[in-house]
Every structure is written in C-alpha cells, then in structure tokens.
Amino acid sequence: MRLPVAFVALLLLAGCDLFGESRPERVRARPVVTSSTAEGLADARGRWAEADLDDYQLEYTRACECLRAAAGPFLVTVEGGAVTEVEPLSGEPLPDGYEPFTVVRLFDAIDEAFDEGADAVDVVYDAALGFPVRIAIDYDARVADEELYLEVTGFERLDG
C-alpha cells in the first residue's frame, strides 16, 4: 500500500508530537552587537544600566583548561544585585571557593582585560540589554591557557 506523499510529509513535519512526545521549543536568537573596544564595553554597560535589572538568571559555560566542575554550565540567580543561588547544571559539585559570574562581574572581566593590555578582546553583547553574550579574551597570544572564553547560553529577567 502506498501512502500519499502529502500524508508522509505531514508525518515528517509533525515529528514526535503526533505520538505524544514534545520537541524542545526553539529559542529565538536575540540581536547582538560585536565589539573589541573599550568604547563598545562602555556602550554595553550603559544599556545594562538603563535596563535597571537587579533580578535575573544567567546561564553560562566556560571553556578552560580547568576542572570540569569549574567549566559549567552554571545557572546563577541574582536578586537585588547579589547572587542568591548557583546551580551547577553538569551535576558536578561546585569547586571550593567558586565565584560565579554575574553580568557586573562579566563587565569587570572585560574591563580588566583592556586595562591589562590583553592581545585580543572579542565580545558579543546583547543589543537590547547590553549584557555580554560571548567573551573571548587572549591575554598573551604566546601562552596557551591563560585565555577566558565564556558563553552565556541563557538569560531571564526575574519579576520581583
């Protein structure tokens, strides 16, 4: 028995939803601004200040020559501008003394790289709110493991 082409196409488009399993919802990409300058950082900080967000959740992952537990991913909850919870999404326990990144701490890391004369500072900022979405800092092109590469994989405003 041959199934009509339209029916087969409908099955393919419906995917698992036909059988009661749901597919993960796709997250729309947010507009971004890329900058490698201190002026770009200042502009992004200005957008963040204008947004006046003290309550949010930030999910990020680091690429580093470090323990898996220090790479993440992490879900950080910030309320009133202070970290209230850090959830390691890898299932690994938090490393002793781990200091999670907040948006302010991300800005400070970028600012420090400019102050220290890093060889390369490449940052992608959220166009609306200004927070860093991706940070790639290479302090010395001749050294292999002193870089910072961090990617924000989720951001949510919290209604207080």
If you average pLDDT over each of 5-9, 28-32, 67-71, which comes out highest?
67-71
Residue of 23, 21, 99, 33 whose CA lies nearest to 60: 99
- pLDDT range class, residue 145, cuts 50, 70, 90: low
Residue 20 Rama label (left phi>0; alpha psi -120 to 50; beta): left
Task: Please provide the size of the chain in residues.
Answer: 160
Greater model confidence, 6 or 92: 92
Tens of pLDDT along 58-110? 999 988 766 677 788 999 999 999 999 999 998 888 888 889 999 999 999 99
Percentage above 70 pLDDT, the chain = 78
Give the Å distances, CA to CA, from 44 to 32, 136, 137.
11, 16, 17
Q: Above 60 in pLDDT, residue 119? A: yes
Q: Above 70 in pLDDT, residue 1? A: no
pLDDT at 98: 87
Mean pLDDT score across all residues of the chain = 80
pLDDT at 68: 74
Neighbours of 101 (CB within 10 A): 22
Model pTM greater than 0.85?
no
| Paired sense of beta strands 74-79 and 56-63, if any | antiparallel
